[in-house]
Structure 1
Amino acid sequence: MNTIIYMVRHAEAPYNEGTERTRGLTTKGKGDVEKVTEILKEEGIDVIVSSPYNRAILSIEGLAQNLGLDIETFEDLRERDFAKVNIENLMSVISEKFYDFDYSLPGGESNSECQDRSISVIKNILKEHSGKKIAIGTHGLVMTLMMNYFDSSYGLDFLNQLKKPDIYRLSFENLELKEVIRLWNGDF
């Protein structure tokens, strides 16, 4: 029996230092949320879960309202914690250290720690909602790390080509990833 997970990377959000949990969406991001809803509203989604970060929730909120579903948040689906690093240095740190899964900035977490906590949630979702369709509001790096756990070909190149928003449909048999299809097309 196949279980389908729709990974929905959040829409465009303004970057404001210190507002990781609460920042919302840009005007463009809000418009793209309507497109996310249009793409997913006929997919037969049964369950909607999200990172607790506002931008992830806002990116799937229209879908939840359209389908009459609640959004269940999981703290362990949050984005990787980098501690204190300025935005200019963030992408270079990610690029230089992506494949060193145990590397972390002082006070932050490693890719390995982020992957372990998020995969624990995904495994529970796959077991609890076996045979269903689940949409997940997520972030670029944690999404890449979750997909990488099931298929190591999802790495830095995949992360670097992601859009805001982006949507991937993952088909599982039990805990085995069988197929990945990108549903987002920025030319809407």
Structure 2
Amino acid sequence: MKNVYVIRHCKAVGQAPDAGLTESGVRQAEELAAIFMDKEIDCILSSPYERAVRTIKPLADQLGIEVELDHRLAERVLSSENHPEWLDRLRYTYDDLDLCYEGGESSNTAMSRAISVVREALIRENKNIIVVSHGNLISLLLKYFDNRIGFEEWEALSNPDVFHLSFIENAPVIRRICAE
């Protein structure tokens, strides 16, 4: 059996790629490290965004494991334009997975890149893998395995949030194990 722990980053000071964690987020990262110390983690993959890396760095340092950065785990770009109705636009992308706004990527495109990371991780020798990413991308990753996951589940995510995917065959058992 392989275990993939999907972690949404801790509370951050903003949305930019270089946005760090808030003081609360730093404490949350330390708490996450404590939660995972007994899980025999042998691989950590992370979005290159600062808030994702800072979320998992305390655990990586304690375990002596290198955080492998993967650009495919970066947050999905909904659109290159700022729209006041961005939330409605996001909702529509859960109904039409091929809907793509100017300068953005469709749900299917984002889902495919996230799934490619998990598929590659599953063929490695590692048994207990952590994947750190961002809310929208994580919800699409989970949707791939459970089509019932959608906009409402994205809205219900917290910072941080943790899902345990247990792989015995191709389809995992998904369990939410930690939410702020």
What TM-score do you get using the length of structure 2 for normalisation?
Answer: 0.92
RMSD: 1.7
Please tell me whether residue 12 in structure 1 is matched to residue 7 in structure 2: no
Identical aligned residues as a percent = 31
Distance 1:143 1:129, change over 3 A: farther
Which of 148, 168, 173 is 1:173 aligned to? 168
Q: Distance in 2 between matches of 1:35 and 1:85?
A: 36
Please tell me whether residue 142 in structure 1 is matched to residue 137 in structure 2: yes
Q: In structure 1, the residue corresponding to 2:6 is in which secondary structure?
A: strand
CA contact (8 A) 2:14 2:20 kept: no
Q: In structure 2, the residue corresponding to 1:171 is in which secondary structure?
A: strand
What TM-score do you get using the length of structure 1 for normalisation?
Answer: 0.89
Which amino acid in 2 is paired with 1:23? Answer: A
Deviation at 1:88, TM superposition (A): 5.1
Which of 113, 121, 126 is 1:125 aligned to? 121
Which ranges in structure 2 are unaligned for 5 or more consecutive residues? none
CA contact (8 A) 1:144 1:155 kept: yes
Q: Distance in 2 between matches of 1:87 and 1:161?
A: 22
Deviation at 1:165, TM superposition (A): 0.4
Deviation at 1:71, TM superposition (A): 0.4
Q: Distance in 1 between matches of 2:79 and 2:90?
A: 13
Which amino acid in 2 is paired with 1:176? Answer: A
Which residue is 2:88 aligned to?
92
Q: In structure 2, the residue corresponding to 1:23 is in which secondary structure?
A: coil
Which ranges in structure 1 are unaligned for 5 or more consecutive residues? none
CA contact (8 A) 2:111 2:141 kept: yes
Deviation at 1:170, TM superposition (A): 0.8
CA contact (8 A) 2:47 2:70 kept: yes
CA contact (8 A) 2:40 2:128 kept: yes
Deviation at 1:87, TM superposition (A): 7.8
Deviation at 1:85, TM superposition (A): 4.0
Q: Distance in 2 between matches of 1:166 and 1:88?
A: 27
Deviation at 1:148, TM superposition (A): 1.1
Q: Which moved more, 1:167-176 or 1:84-93?
A: 84-93
